[in-house]
A = this chain, B = another copy of it.
Amino acid sequence: MKETFAGSGGTRASLPAPAALAAKVRTLAPSMTRSMQRVAEAVADDPAGCAALTVTGLAELTGTSEATVVRTARLLGYPGYRDLRLALAGLAAQQQSGRAPAITTDIAVDDPIADVVAKLAYDEQQTLADTAAGLDTVQLGAAVAALATARRTDVYGIGASGLVAQDLTQKLLRIGLIAHAPSDPHLAVTNAVQLRAGDVALAITHSGSTGDVIEPLRVAFERGATTVAITGRPDSPVTQYADHVLTTSTSRESELRPAAMSSRTSQLLVVDCLFVGVAQRTYESAAPALAASYEALAHRHGSRGRP
């Protein structure tokens, strides 16, 4: 690995931004081995402290070996420990200069309703920030390009993710694209069989292991369609069949705050980004289409303006 390229300050390959690090740790933790998790945890817990440590120091601190530390750094998206260390220094500086440490307490059974509102709002804001920070714009751009030029698009999702799938579908239809979000898994596969090169199939699943969603994506993939996966687990089975993977952030969940809640927030942001990106790319046709759909809806509302 040469480091010389960085000198130009030109096109920097997408190293994870410091801000995204905490989110990345959470996202990738499940796919880590025990030792690596210890390292990741230490790093997320005390960025400043870890930035001051050498590989050897961090290895000792976490009771692991240098090799494991380097492996962890790699998994987090850096070429090696050195770069992770720089990112940690950046993160530490950011945390230092202002923004809150972001420690939310869980929602308790006896929290007053006002607290519930505050905590939920805060958590969802956090989720949005994490998602935005962790989103790979290259993958996103590729997915947008594929969608914008697709002959037709299928969107697969089940349960909570199914609603997100429908949301995207509604939006795409609004700008004149052809999109479907089959709600029945069997129909999804039936649909997928019809896809071919130039079409796009998009799977939305938080766990990345939802068979009912993977199956149609696999079929589409094998048919030559461009496939996109929106998932919280970038190493999960669904990504096998995905040309482009968009990662949603995973925040800690609790009994009263199911994972579905934050994953939905995260997924919707991604979907919105996709939509806006596509609308930009197809502006010529999208703008009139959007206007037309407003028009068509107007008469279904009572008066045109305020009641």
Contact = CB atoms under 8 A, between A and B. Distances in A.
A167 B49 CA distance: 42
Number of copies of this protein chain within its complex:
2
Interface in A75-100: 85-87, 89-94, 96-97
A46 interface: yes
A6 B117 contact: no
Nearest to A135: B117
Contacts of A118: 132
27 contacts: A6-B54, A7-B53, A9-B46, A9-B48, A18-B93, A90-B90, A90-B96, A91-B93, A107-B276, A109-B280, A116-B277, A120-B132, A120-B272, A120-B273, A120-B276, A121-B129, A121-B132, A125-B125, A128-B128, A159-B297, A207-B301, A209-B301, A209-B303, A210-B301, A236-B307, A237-B307, A256-B276
Counting chain B CB atoms within 10 Å of each CB, the highest count among A6, A9, A93, A121 belongs to: A93
Given A6-B52, A125-B125, A170 B159 contact: yes
A159 B258 CA distance: 25
A4 B235 CA distance: 36
A106 to B, nearest CB: 11
Nearest to A7: B57
Contact of A235 (B212, B265, B307): B307
A179 interface: no
What 8 A-B pairs come out closest when comparing CB atoms? A90-B93, A6-B52, A121-B132, A209-B302, A86-B89, A209-B301, A89-B89, A7-B57
Interface string A271-293: 01100110110010001001000
A204 interface: no
Contacts of A19: 97
A84 to B, nearest CB: 11
Contact of A255 (B31, B113, B287): B287
Contacts of A283: 109
Nearest to A166: B163
A226 interface: no
A231 to B, nearest CB: 11
